[in-house]
């Protein structure tokens, strides 16, 4: 292991999964000024601050229309409402994702149809789509999980063939790119979240909906304000899906720094990757990408590093896979004992959630079930210090040195 390039500023004896205070401290004066500006304006819902934020974020994402909304969840619900998806309709989504992806399908009155993901990058497996499509299928929701884009060419080709809409859940992938286009701008709608743990985090709940389609943008705008146009004249039953002016103003402070945050996340991932492979603690997953080089690392390594199947992920999370019955949970306990912040995204695949007990998946979902048992997220946030990464690496190493290595 090479020595750390930077001198640590403290003796590391714990590492949080995420520490937003470090990020906010750097822009504290600008945040205070933004708060002051909104307070003095007396305008707290939509308005000029939101207009400015929408124009700026549309540019970053590369979207024609961007609507600030109340959360990533509401972006999804709004998209389904604007597309007229409701009772009797089916919407295909992966089982291994955050609950909101499928929860919003149900809230729109439709039925989620769960399909499986790929073991290498945890994204929706296009090969599972065709057999899940029925005459009732109205949309597919690819989730760009952990900051990496789905195989959109394959998904769009199937959607086009069957006349099905595509709503991208880009909650974890704002500013990632797919073949030169912004994540979320490839399908009919893109849904993003500014939940504080996302790469661009608000100071509370906030989200974004984007589209390239003028008519869909107009519909979404109307549904965002209770389906009213003009005010108090309701063509449809919409909801209150508006973003606060305060959130928009604060997000405008951080938005110009997003690229820098991403760069730091990528550097952190590169440091983890090099060390884990070098120490024989992880091997790379075999990529699903056609013509991908052979995976790197010792084939007997106890952990699996996610593969980059679409270039340049923005690494909202770095989730390692720990095969072996109960081994992931033992490692989580070990890391927590050493005060390393870890989280399991996600411990229960959606088709096994109690609330979806009556929803039958389109086919068996072994990869989602396995991912739920074997993955864990380690700290990767931009402001991590190198000494903290080394602390996490040592903590991972000490677990497997204790003889927990799988038998070859």
Residues that bind ligand PLP (CB under 6 A): 71-73, 97-98, 100-101, 143, 169, 171-172, 193, 195, 205, 207
Q: Measured from the CB of residue 16, what is the shortest distance to ligand PLP in angstroms? A: 19
Nearest to ligand PLP of 209, 277 (CB atom)? 209
Whether the CB-CB separation of 44 and 68 falls below 8 Å is answered with: no
As a whole number of angstroms, the distance between CA 27 and CA 5 comes to: 25
Give me the least distance between CB of 253 and ligand PLP, in Å please: 19
Count CB neighbours of 341 within 10 A.
17
Residue of this chain nearest to ligand PLP (CB atom):
72
CB of 179 to ligand PLP, least distance (A): 21
* Cα 152 to chain centroid, rounded: 16
Considering the complex, what minimum distance in angstroms separates the CB of residue 98 from ligand PLP?
A: 4
Q: How far is the CB of 143 from ligand PLP (least distance, A)?
A: 5
Tell me whether residue 173 or residue 211 sits nearer to ligand PLP (CB atom): 173
- Pick 143 or 389: Cβ nearer ligand PLP: 143
C-beta of 54 vs 385, nearer to ligand PLP: 54
Tokens 């080709």 — which residue?
Answer: 157
Say if residues 308 and 286 touch (Cβ distance below 8 Å): no
Task: Give the shortest CB-289-to-ligand PLP separation in angstroms.
Answer: 22
Between 177 and 327, whose beta carbon lies closer to ligand PLP?
A: 177
Helix axes 258-278, 386-399, angle to 10 degrees: 40
Mark out the alpha helices in 185-234 (DSSP H runs): 214-224
- Asked, as a colleague might, if the bond just before 230 is cis with ω within 30 of 0, I would say yes
Return d(Cα 177, Cα 60) in angstroms, integer: 11
CB of 343 closer than 8 Å to CB of 375: no
How far, in Å, CA of 70 to CA of 119, rounded? 33
Minimal distance, residue 171 CB to ligand PLP, in Å? 3
Nearest-5° angle of CA 289, CA 292, CA 293? 160
**What whole-number distance in Å separates Cα of residue 95 and Cα of residue 92?**
9
Complex with ligand PLP: residue 192 or 391, whichever CB lies closer:
192
Q: In the complex with ligand PLP, which residue's Cβ is closer, 195 or 391?
A: 195
């Amino acid at each position: 292991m090479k020595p750390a390039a930077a001198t640590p500023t403290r003796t590391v004896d714990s590492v949080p999964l995420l520490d937003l205070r470090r990020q906010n401290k750097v822009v504290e004066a600008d945040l205070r000024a933004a708060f002051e500006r909104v307070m003095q304006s007396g305008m707290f819902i939509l308005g000029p601050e939101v207009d400015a934020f929408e124009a700026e974020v549309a540019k970053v994402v590369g979207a024609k229309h961007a609507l600030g909304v109340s959360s990533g969840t509401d972006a999804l619900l709004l998209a389904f409402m604007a597309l007229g998806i409701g009772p009797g309709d089916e919407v295909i989504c992966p089982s291994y994702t955050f609950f909101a992806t499928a929860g919003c399908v149900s809230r729109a009155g439709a039925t989620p149809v769960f399909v499986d993901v790929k073991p290498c990058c945890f994204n929706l497996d296009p090969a599972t789509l065709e057999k899940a499509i029925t005459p009732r299928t109205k949309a597919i929701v690819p989730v760009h999980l952990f900051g990496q884009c789905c195989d959109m060419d394959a998904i769009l080709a199937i959607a086009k063939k069957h006349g099905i809409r595509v709503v991208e859940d880009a909650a974890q992938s704002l500013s990632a790119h797919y073949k030169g286009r912004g994540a979320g701008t490839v399908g009919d709608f893109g849904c993003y979240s500014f939940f504080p743990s996302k790469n661009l985090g608000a100071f509370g709940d906030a989200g974004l909906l984007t589209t390239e389609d003028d008519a869909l943008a107009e519909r979404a705008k109307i549904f965002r304000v209770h389906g009213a146009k003009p005010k108090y004249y309701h063509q449809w039953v919409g909801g209150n899906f508006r973003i606060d002016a305060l959130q928009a103003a604060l997000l405008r402070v951080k938005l110009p720094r997003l690229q820098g945050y991403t760069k730091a996340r990528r550097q952190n991932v590169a440091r983890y990757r090099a060390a884990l492979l070098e120490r024989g603690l992880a091997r790379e997953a075999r990529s699903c990408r056609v013509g991908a080089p052979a995976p790197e690392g010792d084939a007997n390594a106890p952990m699996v590093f996610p593969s980059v199947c679409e270039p340049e992920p923005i690494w909202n999370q770095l989730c390692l896979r720990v095969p072996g019955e109960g081994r992931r949970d033992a490692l989580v306990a070990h890391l927590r004992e050493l005060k390393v912040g870890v989280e399991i995204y996600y411990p229960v695949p959606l088709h096994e959630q109690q609330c979806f007990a009556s929803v039958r998946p389109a086919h068996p979902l072994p990869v989602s079930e396995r991912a739920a048992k074997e993955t864990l997220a380690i700290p990767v946030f931009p402001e991590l210090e190198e000494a903290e990464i080394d602390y996490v690496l040592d903590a991972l190493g000490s677990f497997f040195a204790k003889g927990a290595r799988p038998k070859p």
